[in-house]
A and B are shown apart, each in its own frame.
Chain A
Amino acid sequence: MQSHTKRGSAGIMLLVVFLLALITELLPMEAQAIPIYARQTGQNCVACHAGGQFPELTSYGRLFKLTGYTMGNRADVPLAVMATASGTSVNSKTPGTGDTYADFPQNGLVHFTTASIFAGGKITDNIGLFGQWTYEAYAQQDPNGHWAGHSGSDNFDLRYADRFIDTNKDLIVGASLNNNPGVTDVWNTFNSGFSSIGPGYVPTSNAAGNGGPFVGTPASPIIMQLGPIAAGMNAYLFWNNTVYAEVGAYQTANRIFSFLSQGIPDSDMPKLKGQLNPYWRLALNHDWGANSAMVGLFGMNAEIYANSPDTFGPTTRYRDVGVDAQYQYILDPHTISAQFSYIKENQSYSDELWDSSNPNYAGSFSNSSNALNYLRLKGTYVYQAKYGASLGYVAVTGSADTLAYTSSPDGNGNPVPFGNANSTPNTHIWIPEIFWTPIQNIRVGLQYYKFTEYNGSSANYDGNGRNASDNNTAFLYVWGAY
């Protein structure tokens, strides 16, 4: 435990030095002294990010991305860095396995969490890149349960774009090589790759558990889970700032595409079947006055080998269909925005995975297919691109499956804090946040995750007396980018 604390302190020291360097550097407020695209365009973050919020894009930011990150002057040093320090505090650490450190790693400890290097920007008049390499200070546990850092590919989006525009028409066409379905999207309503800062950065997933991270949802649709292990080739068009259409085909990011999934060994990688797992996206956009609105549809079909990394045997077929919407009002000093997305997922399984009469029965699921529904809502207000507050809501519901959602004990037979006595993924979370951006490169925020239901009930969801509210978590972070 001591060594973790030491590592945490060193992390904080590092971050403090980093932030001080940033502030010193930025006091003269030169427009050039900001990350990669800002250096390329010479503009402030607020030009492309609504109210200066990363990653939500303004109308202008959407056009910048859709035209392939090619606007401006090629940066002399096409690099930028980003770092986050954070701390979490969970409402109750018991009941659990008895090893609260294993159950809730880094809980109560403010520590250096992640650092990213970005490379990219304009390459030619038609080609540009968003490339991100991320180091997570607590990415994985060794056999003794100690956490260790790890770095690897994060979001990657290499684009070719052209724009046919005159006073009568405007057509943007483009193509992208990327590693995460939805990373190409410009409305930020559903894609996990560009979700806001959140405790997802904190490696709080319970190694012994069967439910994923303790702050978050026990299950999420496949469209949110494939970054950075999928390689996609997408083509899109945006017509008259109104109609957007995109199609993509995804496959496992290995072999020739392994540069997209650097840091993840092939043996750890879920394997997509075939090269053409389809992704699609349609959106209608309308701007009027200081307002901008979008309604859209999107979806993905993916088939994954159940015995990955083996690329044979039974598979799970996922079919995701989503509907989403966004509204923005941006007029200095006010930024108001709201996002909505709802994904319906159908999972169907090869017989071996669920049919007990099958000679190769693996006992993974009790049903031949399951449904999973994922709803996200968020509303934000930012004043002067400095002071902000938001309220988010996540609701996961799905069919009950006694084998997919179980309450199995850990290796010593102790109950795990995220057990599931109800065999459903049903979870509801409210997420209020306040944040402050004293200068555009630094943000300090406090989020609270209030669970009204977890794994199917508000009380005793694990059968051992743990309530949904025991998982309520406060999350404090400092974010910096240069």
Chain B
Amino acid sequence: MSDATKRPIRSNLGRGYSLNKMRWLQLALVTILGTTSSGCANVERSRDLGNPNVPAAVTAVQVCSNCHGKDGNSISPNFPRLAGQQSLYLAAQLENFRSHQRADPEGFEYMWGISRKLTDEQIKGLADYFAKQTPQANSAVDASTAAAGKLIFENGLPAKQTPPCSTCHGPKGEGMASFPRLANQHQDYLVKQLNVFRNTEGRPGTPMKQITHLLDPQEITSVAAYLQALPPN
């Protein structure tokens, strides 16, 4: 090794800097800011969440796709699938994130910031974009767990006065207006959201608090498994 690099270079941090160098720094910053702040916004490929002129379809692929997939079929179960989701439901959720009414942990951690400056028009556009995407099959789940979930989904749990999920969410889990599509949704996401409904006030204003009130963890796991494995329709 050369003498110069025998010792960590950080420990060579020296004895001050000259005004000359400061001038370079300023010059560089001024150049950067000067050349860039004068309106070269590129709305066709922008990731700006504070510019109302960025079309929703651009935001969907430039920003939302990072977690939800560019066609709304997210890979990671941390993030819900949005492909084929009901447009009304999606718009309502974005509005609830924006107004902080929806305060489940992931909603707070990820979506409050994303939605904070979206306009109503952008929200509508984003909801329509993902509603139009084609849902893809999700990965397989344990068959016996899914079979138990199917019974709950189709028949409910009369002993617990839990209605069949299909009543509102459709016989194929396809959703209906403000009732979300559940088919092909990630099991882990569904389990977490059912627990948010059941155990917290993080998602107010839906009948789900009451419906999930008496569900036990196994029932929640089963119905979520069934929904993940539903074929795309």
- A residues with a Cβ closer than 8 A to B are 31-32, 38, 41-44, 46-47, 59-60, 63-64, 67, 70-74, 122-127, 136, 139-140, 150, 152, 158, 162-167, 170, 200, 203, 205, 210, 212-213, 216, 219, 222, 225-227, 229, 256, 258-259, 262-265, 267-271, 287-290, 304-306, 308, 315-316, 330-332, 347, 353, 364, 370, 372, 404
Measured CB to CB, the nearest residue on chain B to A63 is: B66
Cβ-defined contact, A163 with B70, below 8 A: no
- B residues with a Cβ closer than 8 A to A are 1-17, 20-22, 24-25, 28, 32-33, 36-37, 40-43, 45-50, 61-63, 65-67, 70-71, 75-78, 105-106, 108-110, 112-114, 116-117, 133, 139, 188, 192
| Shortest Cβ distance from residue B81 to the other chain A in the assembled complex, whole angstroms | 13
Q: How far is the CA of A278 from the CA of B226 in the complex (A)?
A: 53
Interface core residue of B13, B21, B41, B108 (most chain A CB under 10 Å): B13
Measured CB to CB, the nearest residue on chain B to A165 is: B61
Q: Tell me which residues across on chain B come within 8 A of A136, comparing CB atoms.
A: 10, 13
Cβ-defined contact, A210 with B6, below 8 A: yes
Measured CB to CB, the nearest residue on chain B to A59 is: B76
Q: Tell me which residues across on chain B come within 8 A of A73, comparing CB atoms.
A: 48-50, 116-117
Cβ-defined contact, B1 with A404, below 8 A: yes
Q: How far is the CA of A72 from the CA of B192 in the complex (A)?
A: 27
Cβ-defined contact, A140 with B41, below 8 A: no
Cβ-defined contact, A289 with B113, below 8 A: no
Measured CB to CB, the nearest residue on chain A to B139 is: A289
Closest 8 CB pairs of A and B: A42-B113, A73-B50, A270-B4, A259-B25, A265-B14, A44-B109, A124-B36, A71-B47
Cβ-defined contact, B17 with A263, below 8 A: yes
Q: How far is the CA of A315 from the CA of B105 in the complex (A)?
A: 56
| Shortest Cβ distance from residue A84 to the other chain B in the assembled complex, whole angstroms | 14
Q: How far is the CA of A265 from the CA of B77 in the complex (A)?
A: 51
Q: How far is the CA of A243 from the CA of B178 in the complex (A)?
A: 39
Measured CB to CB, the nearest residue on chain B to A128 is: B47
Measured CB to CB, the nearest residue on chain A to B75 is: A287
Q: List 25 A-B contacts (CB under 8 A).
A: A43-B110, A43-B114, A60-B67, A67-B62, A72-B49, A74-B50, A124-B40, A125-B46, A140-B15, A158-B32, A162-B45, A163-B45, A165-B70, A212-B8, A216-B8, A222-B5, A259-B24, A265-B14, A265-B15, A289-B76, A305-B2, A306-B3, A308-B2, A308-B4, A364-B2
Q: How far is the CA of A44 from the CA of B112 in the complex (A)?
A: 10
Q: Which of B13, B45, B113, B133 contacts A43 (CB 8 A)?
A: B113
Cβ-defined contact, A43 with B188, below 8 A: no
| Shortest Cβ distance from residue B139 to the other chain A in the assembled complex, whole angstroms | 7
Cβ-defined contact, B14 with A263, below 8 A: yes
Secondary structure of the B side of the interface? helix
Cβ-defined contact, A262 with B65, below 8 A: no
Q: How far is the CA of A150 from the CA of B11 in the complex (A)?
A: 10
| Shortest Cβ distance from residue A121 to the other chain B in the assembled complex, whole angstroms | 12
Q: Tell me which residues across on chain A come within 8 A of B4, comparing CB atoms.
A: 270-271, 304-306, 308
New A-B pairs, 16, CB < 8 Å, besides A72-B113, A124-B36, A166-B70: A41-B49, A42-B116, A70-B47, A72-B47, A73-B48, A125-B42, A136-B13, A162-B42, A200-B10, A226-B9, A227-B9, A262-B17, A263-B14, A268-B12, A287-B75, A308-B2
Measured CB to CB, the nearest residue on chain B to A136 is: B13
Q: How far is the CA of A227 from the CA of B10 in the complex (A)?
A: 8
Interface core residue of B1, B24, B62, B112 (most chain A CB under 10 Å): B1
Cβ-defined contact, A264 with B77, below 8 A: no
Q: Which of B9, B22, B25, B117 contacts A225 (CB 8 A)?
A: B9
Cβ-defined contact, A46 with B8, below 8 A: no
Q: Tell me which residues across on chain A come within 8 A of B40, comparing CB atoms.
A: 124-126
Q: How far is the CA of A16 from the CA of B32 in the complex (A)?
A: 37
Q: How far is the CA of A262 from the CA of B26 in the complex (A)?
A: 12
Q: Tell me which residues across on chain B come within 8 A of A263, comparing CB atoms.
A: 13-14, 16-17
Q: Tell me which residues across on chain B come within 8 A of A331, comparing CB atoms.
A: 76-78, 188
Q: Tell me which residues across on chain B come within 8 A of A71, comparing CB atoms.
A: 47, 49, 62-63, 66
Interface core residue of A42, A152, A308, A330 (most chain B CB under 10 Å): A42
Q: How far is the CA of A227 from the CA of B11 in the complex (A)?
A: 12
Measured CB to CB, the nearest residue on chain B to A217 is: B8
Q: How far is the CA of A315 from the CA of B4 in the complex (A)?
A: 11
| Shortest Cβ distance from residue A373 to the other chain B in the assembled complex, whole angstroms | 14
Q: Tell me which residues across on chain A come within 8 A of B77, comparing CB atoms.
A: 289-290, 331
Measured CB to CB, the nearest residue on chain B to A124 is: B36
Q: Tell me which residues across on chain A come within 8 A of B22, comparing CB atoms.
A: 262
Q: How far is the CA of A382 from the CA of B112 in the complex (A)?
A: 24
Cβ-defined contact, A205 with B2, below 8 A: no
| Shortest Cβ distance from residue B203 to the other chain A in the assembled complex, whole angstroms | 17
| Shortest Cβ distance from residue A56 to the other chain B in the assembled complex, whole angstroms | 16
Q: How far is the CA of A139 from the CA of B7 in the complex (A)?
A: 13
Cβ-defined contact, B3 with A364, below 8 A: yes
Cβ-defined contact, B24 with A167, below 8 A: no
Cβ-defined contact, A229 with B66, below 8 A: no
Cβ-defined contact, B1 with A219, below 8 A: yes
| Shortest Cβ distance from residue A89 to the other chain B in the assembled complex, whole angstroms | 21
Q: How far is the CA of A349 from the CA of B49 in the complex (A)?
A: 53
Cβ-defined contact, B14 with A264, below 8 A: yes
Cβ-defined contact, A139 with B11, below 8 A: yes
Q: How far is the CA of A43 from the CA of B4 in the complex (A)?
A: 42
Q: How far is the CA of A124 from the CA of B41 in the complex (A)?
A: 7
Q: Tell me which residues across on chain A come within 8 A of B32, comparing CB atoms.
A: 123, 127, 158
Q: Tell me which residues across on chain A come within 8 A of B63, comparing CB atoms.
A: 71
Q: Which of A205, A213, A316 contacts B1 (CB 8 A)?
A: A316
Q: Which of A163, A258, A268, A269 contacts B62 (CB 8 A)?
A: A163
Q: How far is the CA of A256 from the CA of B12 in the complex (A)?
A: 21
Q: Tell me which residues across on chain B come within 8 A of A258, comparing CB atoms.
A: 17, 20-21, 24
| Shortest Cβ distance from residue B119 to the other chain A in the assembled complex, whole angstroms | 13
Q: Which of B5, B65, B133 contacts A270 (CB 8 A)?
A: B5
Q: A127-B36, A165-B62, A212-B8 are in contact. Are A262 and B25 (CB under 8 A)?
A: yes
Q: How far is the CA of A63 from the CA of B32 in the complex (A)?
A: 23
Q: How far is the CA of A317 from the CA of B63 in the complex (A)?
A: 43
Q: How far is the CA of A224 from the CA of B71 in the complex (A)?
A: 39
Cβ-defined contact, A316 with B109, below 8 A: no
Q: How far is the CA of A269 from the CA of B47 in the complex (A)?
A: 39
Measured CB to CB, the nearest residue on chain B to A270 is: B4
Cβ-defined contact, B21 with A41, below 8 A: no
| Shortest Cβ distance from residue A135 to the other chain B in the assembled complex, whole angstroms | 10
